Amino acid sequence: MSVTAFQDLPMADRDREWDGGAAEKRVRSWADATDEPNEKYRNAHVWYDKENKDNFTAYKLLIADVIDGDLRAVPRGVFAAAAVMQGSRGGVDLPEKDIDPVKSHLAKYYNKMDDTPPWEDDG
């Protein structure tokens, strides 16, 4: 199991809609990962099961989309991943040891947006 390396992707506009299914298709095409995942595809996600890295189902917490030919982190995708980590969308099945590193990864994007992750919000 593994948290992907922080890519420091450029951010999309904060009001950009998020459609994870459509983003998944665009990322696969952009990464030339139509038959199996590769490193470019991995970089759009926050977590993957490295024991099964050749299976698309091993990748979780997609936060990026292809915009004008470039991979960008989408704020609403980051928010959706954070909500999953908070359990408000049914949670995600990750090893306990990966929870804090995943939250740290997401927090870096929150920081880029001058925002606070929900697990750090006092209010």
Global pTM exceeds 0.85: yes
Q: Does residue 56 contact residue 114 with C-beta atoms inside 8 Å?
A: no
* pLDDT tens profile 63-102: 999 999 999 999 999 999 999 988 755 567 888 899 999 9
What is the average pLDDT score of the chain?
A: 93
What was the pLDDT predicted at 58? 95
Q: How do residues 106-116 score in pLDDT, each as one tens digit? A: 999 999 999 99
Contact 98, 1 (CB under 8 A): yes
Mean pLDDT score, 47-58? 95
Residue 105, C-beta contacts closer than 8 angstroms, at least 6 positions apart: 3, 4, 6, 46
Asked if residue 20 has pLDDT above 90, the reply is yes
